[in-house]
Amino acid sequence: MHSTTVLLIEVGALLFALGMLGRLGRTIGLSPIPLYLLAGLAFGHGGVIPLSASEEFIQVGAEIGVILLLVMLGLEYSATELVGNLRAAAPAGLIDALLNALPGAGFALLMGWDWRAALVLAGITWVSSSGVIAKVLADLGRLGNRETPVILSVLVIEDLAMAFYLPLVTAVLAGVGLVGGIQALAVAVVTVIAVLVVAIRYGSAISKAMSVSDPEALLLSVLGLTLFVAGVAAELKVSAAVGAFLVGIALSGPVAHHATQMLEPLRDLFAAVFFVFFGLSTDPADMPPVLLPALGLAVITMSTKILTGYLGARRVGIALPGRLRAGLALMPRGEFSVVIAGLAVASGVEPRLAPLATAYVLITVVTGPMLARLPDYTWFKNLVRRRMALTQARATPVPAGE
């Protein structure tokens, strides 16, 4: 059978299966993300029915999926809101780094690994998955919630930090020395600052160059600009996701509104492909030996993410339900963690790091979207109300003589 024919059959069957899984998930009140990941495990290396002809196609689709998820997030906010949120969330970003990177580094040292492996595992446990969280927030209808800017600010700070962390860790793993690491870091800093300046100062001019009266031209222009900037950012060793997010920030007004409507179906399509590809790249046979250590690490760092979101939301005066929603939403790790682990594997730092990271990410990315739904359940809301009432009663002074 011709390779193109096999490709069409595999992709068609996969997309149809994903459609049925998505419908099943929504019917039973479950995010479709865990189902997409399990489908990837079933069709990947070591799975029940491996997909061979379409693997490269799915890989490219997965990269586009992350880019579309992030540009859609950027379209929700203006450049002014981004700068304001970043300033307000800077302390939360510092807390996030301390609470979530240190457990990973400490865990690696307890496992007897060297400092380079500790540096890598610190990055894996630190960074939440912007792609997964963006999908969860959209699925749960929380993009307009009060706590969502806090969540997005933490994610943006993490993604911007990755623009500096990835070149640095790449240089360390490659053994290029201090000078090479400083050069890589300098390129990343200059690139991020340049893109931010363009997004903030010239975003309105970019929007005016696009017309909402021609939907086809608008779709092609926005999609083309997003992919181009993301590709340039990746070539300069800066996160493609950061580049895509900043394109979304740069677009404003009617252009942003119409672009959101047109890109939404494409985002849903390629986001599903992204989650499937993550499962495809995982061999289930590698998981059992590292499952318990990965589970322990996941429990610790998912708890610290809840604390991160809770503290960040409390700083800006958000009530207890919003604090819990913020913390629970931040738990999944994903695309950056996989990239970091891949760098370590390529350098041969620690052979057990790859299966541990894979198991860890799968645990957080499967359970995270499910736990994020907890605040929507009636029993959870009642529990939070009782807690708030009890706290208020304790804080209310008792009048003299009673």
Name which residue leads in pLDDT, 361 or 342.
Answer: 361
pTM over 0.75: no
97-114 mean pLDDT: 92
* Residue spans of alpha helices (H) in 140-252: 148-174, 177-201, 203-208, 215-235, 240-250
Q: How confident is the model at residue 306 (pLDDT cuts 50, 70, 90)?
A: very high
13-17, 111-115, 236-240: range with lowest mean pLDDT: 236-240
**pLDDT > 80? residue 223:** yes
Do residues 222 and 264 lie in contact, with contact meaning Cβ atoms separated by under 8 Å? no
Are residues 77 and 253 in contact, defined by beta-carbon separation less than 8 angstroms? no
| Average pLDDT for 350-374 | 85
- The single-letter DSSP state of residue 286 is G
- Helical spans, DSSP H, in 44-176: 55-75, 79-110, 115-126, 130-139, 148-174
Digit-coded pLDDT (tens) for 30-73: 667 778 877 887 876 666 677 766 777 888 888 888 788 778 87
Domain positions in the chain are: 7-375
Q: Contact at 8 Å (CB) between 107 and 289?
A: no
**CATH level 3 topology of 7-375:** Na+/H+ antiporter like fold (1.20.1530)
For residue 396, the model assigns a pLDDT of: 67
What is the DSSP code string of 357-392? HHHHHHHHHHHHHHHTTGGGSHHHHHHHHHHHHHHH
Contact of 69 with 135, CB cutoff 8 Å: yes
Question: For 309-318, what is each residue's pLDDT tens digit?
Answer: 999 899 888 9
What's the pLDDT tens digit per position in 69-89? 778 877 876 666 666 666 777
Q: Number of helices and strands (H, E) in the chain?
A: 17, 0
Of residues 151 and 159, which shows the higher confidence score? Answer: 151
The CA distance from 301 to 127, in Å, is: 10
What pLDDT score does 129 carry?
85
